[in-house]
Structure 1
């Protein structure tokens, strides 16, 4: 074999080996890159899963906080509703007390009773039997109170717990104020109940009807003034 042919043979062998090595190196490089890429993807997937789990745990924690806050808000709302109810009850009691004490003007449905001297008084030898006396007015007032009257006035004078009704001649003094007949008694309360109480058999109206004139009128709105004076002072 000539040197030239040997050279070509060696060159061919070297070329083939080089090609094989290059090809092997390329495949190895491709495999290494693929493994690295797969490893990176795995790491990224692992990190993403860890982040998802962390987010889920945080969301669960926030949901628990929200539930606790909703419970606290519910308790506060219940307490506020209770306080509001108690305040409304207190206000209602205060208004009722103010009405009963007579310190404020009031209005509402009620009854107006007008008491006048009897027309028989002029022709009677005993005039005193046919004129309105303080005990007559007091009987009507007491019957109205027993029938649930919430507030009462006589000729514009508001009655309070220690108001007195006194007779001086043909006049009556209420809260220190003198007035003459006719005597208008205004009462706030249930009109039907108060009227029925006054009309009871053997009651106030039946006992007075032969001696004085009494007229009743049910009203949808009766206005009573506030008490004027010192409620602590007993009017004698």
Structure 2
């Protein structure tokens, strides 16, 4: 009886072990499919290689984007520097064109005539020469009897007077020049210079330095009838 019971128990245990083994085999097939471990490893290696190539491609694209960004930043920096330079140049040209009231160190030159001296209309070329001397001395602003002198100012002799910016003037003339006083005086007061030339035709010249001179802006209006600006397009589209 015991032997029969042992055989029955052994059979039952064998059946249970068989069921467990079949279950494990089915579970493994569901997880791995019908592929062998070798095939699965090969597929994983292929997928890893593809991902590595994609990663390298993305890294190259990122490096290219960084390089483009660096070039754009450098280009914009150059444009900002150029814009800053142009703004400073514009301010300089506005001052030279009489667009602003200005003040600063300079020299006041007073020109008058002795009795029986030639009229200012006769001596207007000497006034033009004096203005040239001042410009050569590097002055930054000039006025004549309150009229701002610019590149567009005309000094025109009319009868016994001169017209400056359309305003009639006679002696005495008060010429204000903003710049380094010592340079201005040296440019006028050398032997045979403009001061001597004015003295030769009966004019007196007084030169006075001042720590601060005020010069009014140009009251007229500058119009361009023929000249138009030319704009150059750049590679940044600015």
TM-score band, normalised by shorter chain: 0.5 to 0.7
Structure 2 counterparts to residues 6-21 of structure 1, below 5 A: 8=1, 12-21=2-11
1:112 aligned to 2:95? no
Q: Give how far 1:144 is off.
A: 0.4
Q: Which residue of 1 aligns with 2:79?
A: 83
Equivalent-residue separation in structure 2 for 1:97 and 1:74 (angstroms) = 34
1: distance between equivalents of 2:12 and 2:180? 115
Partners of 2:157 and 2:163 within 8 A in 1: yes
Q: In 2 relative to 1, CA 230–203 (structure 1 residues): closer, same or farther, beyond 3 Å?
A: same
List per-residue Cα deviations over 1:166-213 (Å, max 9, x = no partner).
3754x5432231234442212344444333322334433455579514
TM-score normalized by the length of structure 1: 0.63
Q: Which runs of 5+ in 1 are unaligned?
A: 1-7
Check conservation: 2:141, 2:215, Cα contact below 8 A. no
Q: 1:184 to 1:175 in 2, by over 3 A?
A: same
Alignment RMSD (CA, Å): 4.2
- How big is each residue's C-alpha offset from its partner over 1:48-67, in whole Å with a ceiling of 9 and x where there is no partner? x68x9477665554443333
- Deviation digits for residues 147-183 of structure 1 (CA, Å, limit 9, x no counterpart): 22344221122233451153754x5432231234442
- Kindly tell me: are residues 134 and 30 of structure 1, through their superposed partners in 2, closer, same or farther at Cα, counting changes over 3 Å? same
Counterpart position of 1:5: none
Structure number, greater radius of gyration = 1
Cα distance between partner residues in 2 of 1:221 and 1:29 = 113
Alignment of 1:1-236 (within 5 A): 8=1, 12-33=2-23, 53=48, 60-100=56-96, 102=97, 104-117=99-112, 121=114, 126-128=115-117, 133-159=123-149, 160-161=151-152, 163-166=154-157, 168-169=159-160, 171-205=161-195, 208=198, 211-220=203-212, 222-228=214-220
SS of the residue corresponding to residue 117 of structure 2 reads helix
Per the TM alignment, residue 16 of structure 1 is displaced from its structure 2 partner at its CA by 1.7
Count of residues paired in the alignment = 211
Q: Unmatched 5+ residue regions in structure 2? A: 34-39, 225-238
* Structure 2 partner of 1:3: none
- Aligned residue for 1:109, secondary structure, equals strand
